[in-house]
Structure 1
Amino acid sequence: MRPTLEPLDLTEHLPLVHAWVTHPRSVYWQMQDATLADVEREYRLIEDDPHHHAWLGRVDGTPAFLAETYDPAHSELAGLPELRPGDLGMHVLVAPTERPVHGFTRAVFGAVLDHCLADPAVRRVVVEPDARNHRIRALNREFGFRELRTITLPTKEATLSVRTRSDQQSHLTPDVLAAAQRHLVTKAISELAHERVLAPVADGDRWLLTTPAGDTTYSFAAERLALDHWAVDPATVVRTVKDEPAELDAQDFVVEFSELLGVPDALLPTYLEELAATLQSACWKLAHSTLTVDDLLRADHQTIEGAMTEGHPGFIANNGRVGFGADDYAAYAPETGSDVRLHWLAARRTLSHHSGPVQYDESLLVDAGLDPADYHLVPVHPWQWTNKLAITFAPDVARGDLVHLGEGPDRHRPQQSIRTFANASRPEQPYVKTALSIQNMGFMRGLSPTYMEATPTINEWVHELVVADPTLRACGFSVLREIASVGYTGDAFHRLDLPSPYRKMIAGLWRESPVSRVGDGERLMTMAALLHRDASGRSLAAAMIEASPYDAATWLRSYLDAYVRPIVHCLLAHDLAFMPHGENLVLVVRDQVPVRAIMKDIGEEIAVMSTGRPLPAEVERVRVDVEQEIKALALHTDVFDGVLRHLAAILHTDGVLDEEVFWSEVTDCVRRHQEDHPELADAAAAYDLFRPTFRHSCLNRLQLRNTLEMVDISDQAESLIYAGTLDNPMA
């Protein structure tokens, strides 16, 4: 469900608007008896008024609502003492229907409100609903409007209400926070027990955790599943402090167990800040995420992308985004559904590089009076320009080595990875990945210009390998190439030959769009969606299975053939490892069944784990020399523990598919591949994917050890932390 707004075109939409405003359900719009000419006259007046604007709203491209924005100081509210500079008035009318869709009105209302606040000059939004319209007044309050008083207008008694930008925190209420805390504490218990940082002890039919100080306990019910997964029932988690019941609190939980977690004292506040930001995000989603799994069964790729509520399934602090303010969160977080217009910098060619085919319109340079022969264009996140580049690179701007060209013409939509954008104006155009100097999930999210220079070449090499392989072609497996990169290195930080985050602030990538990869009856979805539960707790994967023509085991078999089989083949045939977590895969779905997989984020996250395979010189950097046992973790850790463990638990606990059947299907998938490829028998023996146990590589331990940079990107294998072994569910 993706609402958009555009200026109302009366020539095209007058009959539709007339039908809406005169419908009996639109009684509070006060145009019940209006003729077509009356409606045209009213909206022509708005069209000619510089202080009043009318907007047609669409949902997924279909006209669905009407909105008006106006300057209260030039309206019938003029002269009210409550009005302030920066106020903007708002009216919303959702198209009347006899078949209302759950959450539709809230999604529309939120989109119009976001549209109003997208202008930084707007400080408050003002509404004046009819005082008798209790339904819309309740909706206003839900979205943070404060009712000031009843006022008398020429046509009604109205409730004057305002919402400031700070009222964007209206989702931070005790009830919403309690739900977010329960979810996050449950996840912390489950994942830290899985990583053997904490060791719950059996207590009858429950489990017990006691803090090192001995004065606080956590009691809960849980089922222990394969791969030492703790399926903790959130409703059963009880905290007791000094023998008294206490509220669940994720930050308190970390402090209470800090002696066991091993966070360095200097970094513990940073980790607590990321937890607070994760809770803030969770509260927003709980308060505003209205899409059900039934909605998502019919949703397009970008709607699903914005509807995800969990973030990474393993990391506890997974939505930190430290550096964003409240306004930034509303403007740039993918879950808010806001459109973003990227900024553009012109970077002097002698101080920058561009690899791959040009992906931008050079008229932006010409319009600014610059010669395209002298400058490259660099896409820039709006936050990055305002908060970093305009200040930290002020000398470069003053010299003309960097020229700020302002916003680009296209609307973009942030993805779950926060710094990557899909083109909402032209979906077939490449995705754009930008540098973003915020702290999120153990990293500063920058991009290195030097590192990015070889990225298009590496991507092209992987693409050619994939399309030339008959097995991968038969699986329908493909990659989204990062086809071009750009970066600026003319700053003082690059003249200082020391690594630092400042050398990763001005760079960009263009990645192919997956839009052209679908056929009739197919749609795209992020693989992370298979682990999604909606606000009522329903699983999207379970709903897809129920809506598909297959039983659960057959559905799973199709998914594994699309996902696991290509990963195994790349390992055995090419010693090629991806980072195949949920957000790095786009699934092609037909009849609610995953039938193909598309891999992305190639440049930074692939490895050729062989010292003997020949590689082009430009691709050599992806070669890693690791022991044979570590190579197999590309399947055991990254796929089994990082993705399938969570999906197996969801389907098992929801009664959709027993976990033994789940892992039996995984085993059969890998065995079928080996039986189909006897020529790879030596590689299969070396990888030994069916070994009894494998090393237990732990993600949260990495983040707890160093919340600022949890691994060394240049040598990720040496950064790993292990906690013994896990029993292989295929053994």
Structure 2
Amino acid sequence: MKAPSPRLAALDSTTSLPSGRATPREGALDEPERRVVRQLVEALLFEGLVSFRSAPRAPGSGFAAIYDRDFAFRLGQVPVRCVGAVSSFGRIRVAEGSIEHRAHGVWREAPLRQLVESLDVDAEARQRLLTELTQTVALCRWNRAHLAHHLRPRRGLSFQELESALHEGHPYHPSFKARAGFSLEDHRDYGPEAATCFQLQWLAVDARRVRTALPEAPERFWARELGERVYAELTTRLTDQGASWDDRALLPVHPWQLRALDGPALRQAFTERVLLPLGPAGDRYRASQSLRTLLNADRPEASHVKLPLATVCTSSPRHFRAHFVCTAPAVSEWLGAVVGEDPFLRDRAVLLREYAAALFTPSPRAQGAAAPHGAEALEGMLGVILRESVVTKLAPGEEAVPFNALTVVEADGRPFIAEWLDAHGVEAWVARLLEVMLLPLWHLLVHHGIAFEAHPQNLILLHRGGWPERLALRDFHDDTEYVADFLRRPELLPDLGRIDPYFDTVPDDDGYRMASTDDLRELFTDTAYVFNLADLSFLLERHAGF
């Protein structure tokens, strides 16, 4: 059902809007640019960044009937108009190809550059935004020219395959494929869409500059993770450089990251033997949708490897926040204890634990170790978090799909979930999905005082033949919040200050601990509803009349 936007409630149905707008035109902009333009305008309107007028739209005017309102606004001095709808939680949906600006007295489909250049923001911010958006368009164009994901339905793909084939990216954020610093070749080699496999690079790091949170002694841990043969090979490479594991720590690195970090700080670290290169080794990996989390292509049951990248995606830097790396295993153990002793959650929520972590700290952690010149450039740029694979959690007959697959439309024009809706009935399937997805998240919030960033990329649906069974959750280390006085079992909370003294001094709202339950409510509402289920609702309204 549609919820009226507060910005629309006061508008009279006779509001005067520019008349004579065209029906959809072919060929003005290509599909990638149209999509980025659409999501930019949707965000500007929904976030209230521009003032707009809106009125009901006359039926039969060229766009799908669900787009039942005309919108008009200005970007700077430029008049802009479009056709759209107000959907669940006030989300504004704009019909692709309907966005026009008025130039020299004529209404024309609005190109991306002209829209961005019309924004009333400072020049630096405008250029940064334009760079992110044009990079997004370029990578989408490459996908359409070189990949077949958009040409055939993906319903029969495995979880690992879907992590690559779900090329759509974020359905709301305009710069959903910015990947700052990535060339088209990098996109081909390291982006999830092409599913290119590659080995990790390995470093032997001065142990005084590494913080670790491993479940056992480093030698045993890495031999078990990598296999005895690979670990022995890396040991030989280390010995050949006149060093040993007595004062060295092993660290994997994304191959793109080594090239991206090439500069004075990294070169000095190599020159001074703070870092010793061991080269590529071990299994092959490929990128997941999140780009920096890698899936094992040779052993799907092996851990997922999260590595920092010196890039920006959806306007967020993808390096590690240093204080939220080695706390990851403790946070996972805490959540595991909460779920494990709760009969309601135990059979409903599956946690993909982050069970090991390590972080390179450029500043010395011991006397006698000098920091390389410009060492701050490497802060949060070299590290690793290992996470359990969902493959190891599947019960007999269960399959896993990334949650964002539920909202995409396939090459045959039908939703990814169309066959499930046909088999089980729309109303029954939706009711079951809400039970499986919402109730564990809500129970974790109201019963335990813990909120989790439940956006679609963090959720995995476990199902049998499309019938929802359980919910898997991932990425806890910087996506979890709590309010101390609201915790049901405060004694289970780990002493994070013992892991990192930062958490003994950090104020509320800067770490995991929030000051108010309103913060938890906002995180739950935004990620579970506004930017998650609202997209599913709009898909069901368009394709199933629900």
- In structure 1, list runs of 5 or more residues that go unmatched: 1-173, 659-731
User: Does the CA contact (< 8 Å) of 1:344 and 1:405 recur in 2?
Assistant: yes
Quickly say closer, same or farther: Cα 1:421–1:175, change in 2 above 3 A: farther
**Would you say the 8 A contact 1:347–1:376 is kept in 2?**
yes
Q: Deviations over 1:173-229 (max 9, x none)?
A: x96962112222222222322222232422753513232454443232x23223112
Query: What TM-score do you get using the length of structure 2 for normalisation?
Result: 0.81
User: Alpha-carbon deviations, 1:224-252, whole Å to 9, x = none?
Assistant: 22311223222444444233243432232
Match of residue 450, structure 2, among 576, 586, 600:
576
Q: 1:465 to 1:293 in 2, by over 3 A?
A: farther
Structure 2 equivalent of residue 464 of structure 1: 337
Q: What is the alpha-carbon distance in structure 2 between the residues aligned to residue 537 and residue 232 of structure 1?
A: 19
Tell me how large the CA RMSD over aligned residues is: 2.7
Matched, 1:420 2:273: no
Aligned residue in 1 for 2:92: 230
CA–CA separation in structure 1 for the residues paired with 2:381 and 2:122: 27
SS at match of 2:176: coil
TM-fit CA distance, 1:580: 0.7
1:201 equivalent in alignment to 2:45: no
Identify the residue that residue 267 of structure 1 maps to in structure 2: 125
Identity in percent: 24
Q: Residues 176 and 492 from structure 1, CA distance in 2 versus in 1: closer, same or farther, beyond 3 angstroms?
A: farther
Whichever of the two has the greater Rg, that structure is 1
Indicate if the aligned counterparts of 1:478 and 1:598 stay in contact, CA closer than 8 A.
yes
For the structure 1 residues 577 and 309, does the alpha-carbon distance in structure 2 shift closer, same or farther, using more than 3 Å as the test?
same
Matches within 5 A, 1:638-653: 638-653=527-542
Q: How far apart are the structure 2 equivalents of 1:601 and 1:404?
A: 29
- The correspondence for 2:204, drawn from 339, 346, 353, is 346
Q: Matched residues in 1 for 2:486 and 2:524: separation?
A: 21
Contact (CA 8 Å) 2:209, 2:364: kept in 1 or not? Answer: no
The CA distance in 1 between the partners of 2:125 and 2:274, in whole Å, is 37
Cα 1:628–1:464 shift into 2, 3 Å: closer
Aligned to 1:252: 114
More RCO (CA 8 Å, sep 6+): 2
Q: How does 1:183-332 map to 2 (within 5 A)?
A: 183-198=35-50, 199-202=52-55, 204-205=57-58, 206-220=69-83, 222-256=84-118, 258-259=119-120, 263-291=121-149, 295-332=153-190
- In 2, are the aligned partners of 1:436 and 1:505 still within 8 Å (CA)? yes
> Taking structure 1 as reference, are residues 275 and 292 closer, same or farther at Cα in structure 2, changes over 3 Å only?
closer
Of 625, 635, 642, which residue of structure 1 is paired with 2:514? 625
Does the CA contact (< 8 Å) of 2:139 and 2:184 recur in 1? no
- 1:435 aligns with 308
Give the whole-Å Cα distance in 1 for the aligned partners of 2:416 and 2:147.
14
Which digits, 9 at most, give the CA deviation of each residue in 1:465-493, with x for residues without a partner? 11211111232x11111111111114589
Whole-angstrom distance in 1 between the partners of 2:123 and 2:86: 32
Q: How many Å apart are 1:497 and its aligned residue?
A: 13
- Output the CA distance in 1 between the equivalents of 2:485 and 2:274: 42
Does the 8 A contact of 1:308 with 1:335 survive in 2? yes
- Give 2:352's aligned amino acid: L
Distance 1:450 1:404, change over 3 A: farther
- From 411, 414, 417, the counterpart of 1:541: 417
- 2:319 corresponds to which residue? 446
For residue 404 of structure 1, report the CA deviation from its aligned partner. Answer: 0.8
8 Å CA contact retained: 2:450, 2:520: no
By how many angstroms is 1:275 displaced? Answer: 0.2
SS at match of 1:322: coil
Secondary structure class of the residue paired with 1:330: helix
1:508 aligns with 2:384: yes
Counterpart of 1:380 in structure 2 is 253
Instruction: Tell me the amino acid that sits aligned with residue 189 of structure 1.
Output: V
| Amino acid of the structure 2 residue aligned with 1:255 | E
Residues 289 and 307 of structure 1 are in contact (CA less than 8 Å); yes or no, is this contact kept in structure 2?
no
SS in 1 for 2:110: coil
Describe the superposition over 1:505-558 as per-residue Cα deviations: whole angstroms up to 9, x where unpaired. 111111111111113332111111112223565321334323xx3111111122
Using the TM superposition, give the Cα deviation of residue 634 of structure 1 relative to its aligned residue in structure 2, in angstroms. Answer: 2.8
- The residue number in structure 2 matching 1:675 is none
Contact kept, 8 Å, 2:354 with 2:476, in 1: the verdict is: yes
Q: Aligned partner of 1:480: which letter?
A: L
- DSSP-derived class of the 2:279 partner: strand
How many aligned positions are there?
Answer: 476
Question: Retained in 1: the 8 A contact 2:401–2:461?
Answer: yes
CA drift at 1:288: 3.9
What secondary structure sits across from 1:341 in the alignment? strand
Give the 5 Å matches for 1:39-118.
none
The answer to whether 1:365 aligns with 2:272 is no
How far, CA to CA, are the matches of 1:315 and 1:503 in structure 2? 27
Aligned-pair distance for 1:498?
11
CA offsets 1:291-323 (integer angstroms, 9 cap, x no match):
469742211012111112321222111211111
Misfit runs of 4+, over 6 Å:
496-499
CA–CA distance in 2 between the matches of 1:293 and 1:585? 26
Q: Tell me, in whole angstroms, the C-alpha distance in 2 between the residues paired with 1:512 and 1:484.
A: 10
Residue equivalent to 1:479: 351
Q: 1:625 to 1:187 in 2, by over 3 A?
A: closer
Other structure's SS at 1:287 match? helix
